[in-house]
Structure 1
Amino acid sequence: MASVVKGFSLLGVDGYVVEVETKTIDSQPMISIVGLGDTAIKEAKERLEAVLNHGDYHFPKMKIVINLAPSDLKKAGTHFDLAMAVGLLMESGQIRPKEIQKYGFIGELSLNAKLRSCVGVLPMVMAAKESGIKNIIVSKENIQEASLVQGMNIFGFSALKEVADFLEGKKEYEIPLELTPKHQEQHLYGLDFNEVQGQDAMIEYIVVAAAGGHNLLMIGAPGCGKSMIAKRIPTVLPSMMEAESLEVTKIYSVAGLLRKRGYLIEDRPFRAPHHNASTNSLIGGGNNALPGEISLSHNGVLFLDEIAEFNKKTLEALRQPMEDRRVTISRVRYTNTYPANFMLVAAMNPCPCGHYGSDRCQCSDYEVIKYRQKISGPILDRMDIQKYVQPVDFLQLSEHTSGRSSAELRERVEFARDIQKTRYASMEAINCNAQMTPSLIKEYCELEADGTKLLRLAYDRFQYSARTFHKFLKVGRTFADMEGSEKIRKKDIAAALMARDLDKEQAGMLVL
């Protein structure tokens, strides 16, 4: 009978249990690892031979077959080393562990039989908990990351010999002195909105965008403060709940981007890829279909500076994730689905030279239209708020007065978010107004009579799409929430209509 040890693998950002089956056969000495493993798994046979010939163990001079079940799912990584080594020691009779099925194993082995840390430990331990496996053996470097999952018994070791002695009951487990309760990893950058001068009107729309989770496009001349404002948006977003923090930390663990293993990411992500980013780096992909920037900004902000300079094909790939709040990456043998619930903030110049509307601009109408057509209508349609950022007057800059602080603005955002949290408490995956479905819009976006009339006039004049019409209702709902109003008032609809500067300009000014 084959020896069976519990290991784990990843499918997207979720883990699942893998049974590592080991069987020795009287035949010509060789080792075969089956079960759709990648190159790193195939190379494990060389590591296993070196490890078992090191120290107190020996490598069996027989034919060895190791199967990673389920065998129809592609697997990747070096974290199967420990499970395969334990299974081979059991099968060859070199160790006789007690209650082996109660344990799960995650760890890479060095040629000197030392345990090394791995990426993706957090989602694998979460999968173990869901499967009823309460005892997990990892390397010492991964103890804190694995301990983020509550209700689990995590055992950390530095060598294979220590693991074997513990499983056989020869040695009691000693809890490391450095192991401490759950930590929080801080990402904030020491930025504050009180450093932004002369942009009070724009900041009001920033607060509304943050309160409702709305996508935002800022258009303005170079140096007017677009990037400065965007980088401070995370400072006014509400704190993440524990479930959201675990989700974000899980994504970063899979991507191998945790700065400190075992530290829970508490602050909302802020990602700002350069405009030469490829489609795969933005959406996700590559040989192992890793998460892209839109997934790394899950529950946070994705900032696309100079959005008109991005490859048009890359921008178009954002359309479906912006609607679905997730992205599916398909390969020949498998499909990975990653969460992508992000707030898109973009900035661009109004024309190629950046000074449209002033005497300094020499761009023709054709050049302006051609430049703006780099961003397609469907992408613009998905931007809830499109606002011009006006240059700051010299006198305002020279006064050196502080604007409203991020803490003050954050209080207003959290007030509106608390209303939304109560409103959508019974709904899964709905946290803010921007995520409302058409049925929720009908239920919660009740207009006063004057507001309905105003929205009808705007709709008749500009011929908005159904999506844009719903965007107005969502933004209007957020304006109403900012003041605790149950119904959407006329002034809320007026403010929502004022949030679409590009729509109005394209309808009236840029017609050749």
Structure 2
Amino acid sequence: MLGMQGTLIEVEASIGAGLPRTVLVGLPDTALYEARDRCRAAVAGAGLAWPSQLLTINLTPASLPKAGSHYDLAIVAAVLAASDVVPRSIAASSVLVGELGLDGRVREVRGVLPALLAARDAGFERAIVPAGQVTEAGLATGISIWGVSCLADLIEVLHGRPVLDPPAAAARAASPPDVYQPDLVDVRGQPEACWALEVAAAGGHHIFLHGAPGVGKSMLAQRLPTLLPDLTAEESLEVSAVHSLAGYSLNSGLMRRPPYSNPHHNASMAAMVGGGMRVARPGAISLAHRGVLFLDEAPEFSPRVLDALRTPLETGQITIARSAGQACYPARFQLVMAANPCQCGMLGVPGANCRCTPMSVRRYNERLSGPILDRIDIHHRLLPSLLVSSRISAGEPSAIVAARVAQARERQARRLAGSPWRLNGDVPGAQLRKLPEPQDMSLLDNAVRAGRLSARGIDKVLRIAWTLADLDGHDRVSKGNLAAALGLRQDSWRCAA
């Protein structure tokens, strides 16, 4: 796997004259090169003989660097076929994915689902996978799955005698765990913030929440996924494939709900955008694909890590360049950032005393660059509630708000039918200008003249205004929608600080 694209590797074994040794060629990495010893021990543990002559194992195409331990099953199958222990027909027409232990057990590996999707697209109709991943492999419809738990099972399967029943209906939905689920009704005393969150969910807009500690920024971010609709079948398969590459188990079925990624603020560049020494793995932004990426205490993140989000915020994908090639991962996420007004968090809080110096506040604010803040659609400042908790009214349940969000998204889908976009937050500026323009643009003109709105900011305001119109059930953007959208856009963190 190079990113989300898979290449079929053909494993060949040749037994010839020469000193008894095993040669593995085809640009293997260290883990793959050690497969010689793992496979030899596994074959010996099964009571079979490893070839006592010169054994050459080739992985083709030889020019493509290969990494990982998932080639073990294919290597053993090729060696057994070359030794005439098993017939060659089934081994040659099957895709084999799995790691072998020294005792012959077949262990699970990463990326089974995307690997089998690539094998299916290449025309293969049968795959042999670890028994513990039969359910995950069955999510790739259109290809027969044979599971093996040990080397003895592999020999039976290569003789055409499956040892495990085929997986049940493949893409069944994952049953939700019987645990507490966050709900927007838990949020008290922040009706404006709940409304801003609803707008963000309806249009797929990025949102920046800033305010004093304890006002509910993290609480709101954790409840944004509850407002989003279920993933479509195509989105579910795409999101599940990314998580399979990252090593997550899919034995409970495809992921049907939007994912939620919450990396710590000490996350490195590779952990955030993806990467690795030789094999690029998906990062936190790809794990949030079609879902929510929450950056709590955003100014504490490395500025280089935050600036690396610029491209995926615009394009919806991340490309990682390595000497072996370029790995491209999807990264169309909804960004939620949270920050305090200063390091102590008390700046601008009524009745509180901020201990930070003006220079300290300035340095803290400058950790979030202007280009990153300009790419975030909604800026909302949360103020502390002045009432005790027993007198604060609760918000609406997530189910009620999610119903309004679903209706607004249906209106967007109808309006954008025939285009590759389905949400207002994804519509590029060129397409946005093809939609009916609000009759009164004076509000935007004044904001541009005052230097409070950039050219990108104009498009952001128009996208938010269309979302507000969709929530109101209107086919045109009114002046009130435009004014509300401008207010959501211009609630600047630095101005508040």
Correspondence for 2:308: 317
Aligned to 2:330: 339
SS of residue matched to 1:346: strand
CA positional deviation for 1:14: 3.0
**Whole-Å Cα distance in 2 between the matches of residues 271 and 247 of structure 1?**
16
Who is 2:387 aligned against? Answer: 394
Q: State the partner residue of 1:192.
A: 183
TM-score, normalised to structure 2's length? Answer: 0.94
Deviation at 1:456, TM superposition (A): 1.5
Among 453, 456, 459, the residue aligned to 1:470: 459
Partner SS state of residue 336, structure 1: strand
Determine helix, strand or coil for the equivalent of 1:232. helix
Question: In 2, Cα distance between the equivalents of 1:95 and 1:353?
Answer: 70
The change in CA–CA distance for 1:109 and 1:425 in structure 2 (over 3 A counts) is farther
CA contact (8 A) 2:156 2:163 kept: no
CA RMSD of aligned residues (A): 2.1
Is this contact kept in 2: 1:182–1:262, CA < 8 A? no
Letter in 2 for 1:486: D
> Does the Cα contact within 8 Å between 2:189 and 2:393 map onto a contact in 1?
no
1:184 and 1:365 map into 2 onto residues whose CA distance is 53
Q: 1:77 aligns with which of 31, 43, 68?
A: 68
Please state whether the residue corresponding to 2:433 is helix, strand or coil. helix
Q: Give the Cα separation in 2 of the matches to 1:474 and 1:338.
A: 26
Displacement, 1:441? 0.8
Write the deviation string for residues 357-410 of structure 1: whole angstroms up to 9, x where unpaired: 234224444433332111110011011001111111224x22264320000110
1:261 maps to 2:254: no
Alignment of 1:155-304 (within 5 A): 155-169=146-160, 171=161, 173-175=163-165, 179=168, 181-185=170-174, 186=176, 190-258=181-249, 260-287=250-277, 288-304=279-295
Check 1:113–1:198 CA distance in 2 against 1; reply closer, same or farther (3 A cut): same
Give the secondary-structure state (helix, strand or coil) at the position aligned to 1:93: coil
Question: What does residue 6 of structure 1 align with?
Answer: none
2: CA distance, partners of 1:322 / 1:172: 47
Change (3 A) 1:189 1:122: farther
* Aligned-pair CA distance for 1:338: 1.1
Structure 1: how far apart are the matches of 2:39 and 2:358? 68
Q: Which residue number in structure 2 is paired with residue 376 of structure 1?
A: 369
1:427 aligned onto 2:414? no
Q: Does 1:442 align with 2:462?
A: no
TM-score (normalizing by structure 1): 0.91
Percent identity over paired residues: 38
Would the aligned equivalents of 2:227 and 2:405 in 1 still touch at CA under 8 Å? yes
Q: Which string of whole-angstrom CA distances, capped at 9 and with x for unpartnered residues, describes residues 453-477 of structure 1?
A: 2221222222522111111111111
Distance in 2, matches of 1:33 and 1:504, equals: 58
The answer to whether the 8 Å contact 1:98/1:168 transfers is: no
- Greater mean alpha carbon deviation, residues 115-124 or residues 187-196: 187-196
Partner of 1:460: 449
Tell me how far apart the structure 1 counterparts of residues 59 and 494 of structure 2 sit (CA, whole Å).
60
| Superposition deviation, residue 154 in structure 1 | 0.7
Deviation at 1:189, TM superposition (A): 5.1
Letter in 1 for 2:289: H
Deviation sequence 1:327-351 (CA, Å, 0-9, x none): 1112222221111111110111112
> How many residue pairs align between the two structures?
492
User: 1:142·1:262 contact (CA, 8 Å) conserved in 2?
Assistant: no
1:66 counterpart = 2:57:
yes
Q: 1 CA distance for matches of 2:89 and 2:275? A: 42
Say which SS state the counterpart of residue 173 (structure 2) adopts. strand
Report the counterpart of residue 126 of structure 2 in structure 1: 135
Q: CA deviation at 1:136?
A: 0.7
Give the distance between the partners of 2:494 and 2:69, measured in 1 at CA.
56
Give the drift of 1:97.
Answer: 3.8
- Alpha-carbon shift at residue 503 of structure 1 (Å): 4.1
In structure 2, what is the equivalent of residue 404 of structure 1? Answer: 396
Amino acid at match of 1:454: L
- Give ranges in structure 2 of 5+ residues lacking alignment: none
- Do 1:146 and 1:262's aligned partners in 2 also have CA atoms closer than 8 Å? no
Partners of 1:327 and 1:340 within 8 A in 2: yes
1:180 to partner: Cα distance: 5.8
Indicate the SS of the match to 2:437: coil
Distance 1:179 1:42, change over 3 A: same
Question: For residues 333 and 172 of structure 1, do their structure 2 counterparts lie closer, same or farther at Cα, with a shift above 3 Å needed?
Answer: closer
Corresponding position of 1:7 = none
Partner in structure 1 of residue 475 of structure 2: 486
Secondary structure of the residue aligned to 1:14 is coil
* Residue 499 in structure 1 maps to residue 491 in structure 2: no
C-alpha contact (below 8 Å) 1:147/1:262 kept by paired residues: no
Write the letter of the residue equivalent to 1:43. Answer: E
User: Hey, what does 2:19 align to over in structure 1?
Assistant: 28
> How big is the shift at 1:262?
4.9
Deviations 1:260-301 (A, max 9, x none): 535211111111111111121111122232111111111111
Offset, 1:39? 1.2
Q: Once structures 1 and 2 are overlaid, which stretch shifts more, 93-102 or 21-30? A: 93-102
Residues 448, 490 of structure 1: 8 Å contact kept: yes
Query: How far apart in 2 are the matches of 1:492 and 1:102?
Result: 60
Matching residue's letter, 1:387? H
Note the C-alpha offset of 1:84: 0.8
